[in-house]
């Protein structure tokens, strides 16, 4: 980390227990991917070398809910799938976090039909909403960082780990650019 270069081998540091515990917590988020559709591909890309979610300590994807504390819902959720999602959420470790990734998970997206859940937050608490169809991996990383910032700021986890969902909605980072003028096809 570089700090060892500035300190002698016999040096010591003092800090608060809260800071050490929260540093460890935010640096070891274990996600549980619930990827049902195309947003899942962007979720997978987040773990590849180009984006490397390991830089944020959140690369240990667990497929066992009891070993995970961050549920990432990526894609549309069918009514028939909903009980599975709820059971996974209830089996996860406390304190647990939920990211709703993409338009389908947050609102049903373009699938305004009887068979698709019109927003998973109607059935499980959601901490961070990520817009987009699909959101880019950078947006998912920003969502994870939003949770890390909250963990950094908060005190020790409450007894039992229960807490209120954050309800953070990330702002889209895309800025539309004007079309180049005077450009003709084939010139
Ligand atoms: S938001 Fe778009 S990319 Fe994501 S699951 Fe829905 S249709 Fe696919």
Query: Mind listing the pLDDT tens digit for each residue in 169-180?
Result: 888 776 767 766
Tell me the domain boundaries of the chain.
16-157+165-169
Ligand 1: distance of its center to the CA of 6 in Å? 48
* CA–CA dist 50, 187 (Å, integer): 34
Ligand 1: distance of its center to the CA of 133 in Å? 5
CA-closest residue to ligand 1 atom 2: 133
Ligand 1: distance of its center to the CA of 116 in Å? 13
Q: How confident is the model at residue 185 (pLDDT cuts 50, 70, 90)?
A: low
* Pocket (CB within 6 angstroms of ligand 1): 37-39, 75-76, 102-104, 109, 133-134
User: Model's pTM, two decimal places?
Assistant: 0.85
Interstrand relation of 97-101 and 128-130 (parallel, antiparallel or unpaired):
parallel
Average pLDDT of the residues in 2-31: 85
What b/e string do you get for 33-69 counting C-beta neighbours within 10 Å, with b at 16 or more? bbbbbebbebbeebbeeebebeebbbeebbeebeebb
Q: Tell whether domain 16-157+165-169 is in CATH 3.40.1190.20.
A: no
CA-closest residue to ligand 1 atom 6: 104
Rg over alpha carbons for the chain, rounded to the nearest Å, is: 20
CA-closest residue to ligand 1 atom 5: 75
* CA–CA dist 9, 4 (Å, integer): 8
pLDDT in tens, 99-112: 999 999 999 999 99
* CB atoms near residue 31 (< 10 Å): 23
* CA–CA dist 187, 184 (Å, integer): 6
């Amino acid at each position: 980390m570089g700090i060892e270069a500035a300190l002698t081998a016999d040096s010591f540091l003092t800090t608060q227990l809260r800071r050490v515990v929260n540093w460890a917590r935010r640096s070891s988020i274990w996600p549980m991917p619930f990827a049902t559709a195309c947003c899942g591909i962007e979720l997978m890309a987040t773990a590849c070398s180009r984006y490397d979610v390991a830089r944020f300590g959140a690369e240990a994807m667990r497929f066992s809910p009891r070993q995970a504390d961050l549920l990432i819902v990526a894609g549309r959720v069918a009514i028939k799938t909903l009980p599975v999602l709820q059971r996974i959420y209830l089996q996860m470790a406390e304190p647990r976090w939920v990211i709703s990734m993409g338009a389908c998970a947050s609102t049903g997206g373009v699938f305004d039909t009887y068979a698709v859940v019109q927003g998973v937050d109607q059935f499980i608490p959601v901490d961070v909403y990520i817009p987009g169809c699909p959101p880019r991996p950078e947006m998912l990383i920003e969502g994870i960082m939003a949770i890390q910032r909250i963990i950094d700021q908060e005190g020790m986890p409450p007894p039992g780990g229960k807490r209120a969902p954050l309800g953070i909605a990330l702002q889209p980072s895309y800025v539309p650019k004007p079309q180049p003028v005077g450009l003709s096809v084939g010139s």
